[in-house]
Amino acid sequence: MVVGASFDSVEDQKGFVDGESFPFTLISDPDRAVGRAYDAERAEGEPYFEYGLPRRISYLISPDGMVAKSYDLEGQDLAEHAAVIIADIKALS
């Protein structure tokens, strides 16, 4: 299962999902609690901090709910990232 989270409102996410035909579940995190818990909130001085944007991080969660791997996606090619995740899932299975 793929789940995304952002600091956007439910309404903003709905617009994104509808406009982009986004096929995954999104979590609205306007109070940034999930972002803080997963270290996605940017610190002052980091790029894009002034825009309130989270870091782009992916987590591979094991069936027992533990973080098996994390991936910092800053500047990364997302198509390539998908291939890396699939390879890691196979390696961990």
> Which structural domain, as residue segments, surrounds residue 30?
3-92
Rounded to the nearest integer, the mean pLDDT of the chain is 91
CA–CA separation, 48 and 65 (whole Å): 30
76 has a pLDDT exceeding 90: no
- Evaluate whether 59 touches 49 at the Cβ level (below 8 Å): no
- Number of domains composing the chain: 1
2 has a pLDDT exceeding 90: no
Model pTM? Answer: 0.78
User: Where are the strands (E) in the chain, listed by range?
Assistant: 3-6, 25-28, 57-61, 67-72
What separation in angstroms does the CA of 6 have from each of 28, 32, 53?
A: 6, 8, 8
pLDDT of residue 75: 84
Q: For residue range 24-65, what is the model confidence (pLDDT) as tens digits?
A: 999 999 999 999 999 999 999 999 999 988 999 999 999 899
79 has a pLDDT exceeding 90: no
β-strands 3-6, 25-28: how paired?
A: parallel
